Amino acid sequence: MKSTIILCSGGARSGKSEFAEQLALSKQGRKAYIATGQAFDEEMKDRIKKHQLRRGSEWINFEIPRDLHDNWKQINKVSDIVLIDCLTMFTSNHFFSCGEIDSQEDANHAESVILTELRLLLQDIKNSDNKTVIFVTNEIGLGIVPENKLTRFFRDIMGRVNREVAIAADKMYFTVSGITIELKSQEVHING
């Protein structure tokens, strides 16, 4: 049986991670939690601690900030349901590992690195049998255009990352203020 890809999106603190966790827990099988966040400051340490406390003993936990494709074989062996939280941190980790991003050329290079890694991971998932992989991501493109160039570069790349996974996804959920709706079944296709 083919694998299923699910994307859970929403704004910061919208409840998307909690929804994704409950969705994963509602499914039968061994569960892996892939945490991509890194604790570089007090706010991230607190955020990670809250996520860890919320998770129970049902999860096999991995901390993988960037190289999800390189670690897929190990994850695949020990799990049936995989929750990746989150694509935003995965993208941020790659973005800042590319060095100084001062120009459009630098941003294009960072985007290429990130999308290559993501596409390899999506192919790994599609080549796996009977997995459910749930991605969590932040929708960061609904606000005003950022004033600073680096933030604009990141926002644009994040939008492309989210779009890539949304296209590959079998289902997509969007959470606003703790309310979640399913979007993929309502997707509009224009033919012709």
The pLDDT score that the predictor gives to residue 16 is 95
Q: Is 51 a catalytic residue?
A: yes
Domain containing 177 — which CATH number?
Answer: 3.40.50.300
19's tokens: 């929804």
The pLDDT score that the predictor gives to residue 124 is 96
Measured CA distances, 54 to 48, 50, 183 (Å): 10, 6, 26
Q: What whole-number distance in Å separates Cα of residue 180 and Cα of residue 172?
A: 10
Is residue 162 assigned to a domain? yes
Q: What whole-number distance in Å separates Cα of residue 158 and Cα of residue 148?
A: 16
Is residue 155 assigned to a domain? yes
- Residues in the chain where the model's pLDDT stays below 70: 39-40, 48, 192
DSSP 31-46: EEEEE-----SHHHHH
CA angle 117, 141, 17 (to 5 degrees): 65
For the entire predicted model, the pTM comes to 0.92
Is residue 1 assigned to a domain? no
160's tokens: 């492309």
The pLDDT score that the predictor gives to residue 192 is 62
Task: Write out pLDDT tens, residues 104-156.
Answer: 999 999 999 999 999 999 999 999 999 999 999 999 988 888 889 999 999 99
* Domain that includes residue 84, residue range: 14-186
Is residue 4 assigned to a domain? no
Is residue 80 assigned to a domain? yes
The pLDDT score that the predictor gives to residue 187 is 87
129 DSSP 8-state letter? B
Is residue 33 assigned to a domain? yes
What is the tally of structural domains in the chain? 1
Is residue 6 assigned to a domain? no
The pLDDT score that the predictor gives to residue 8 is 98
The pLDDT score that the predictor gives to residue 58 is 85
Is residue 111 assigned to a domain? yes
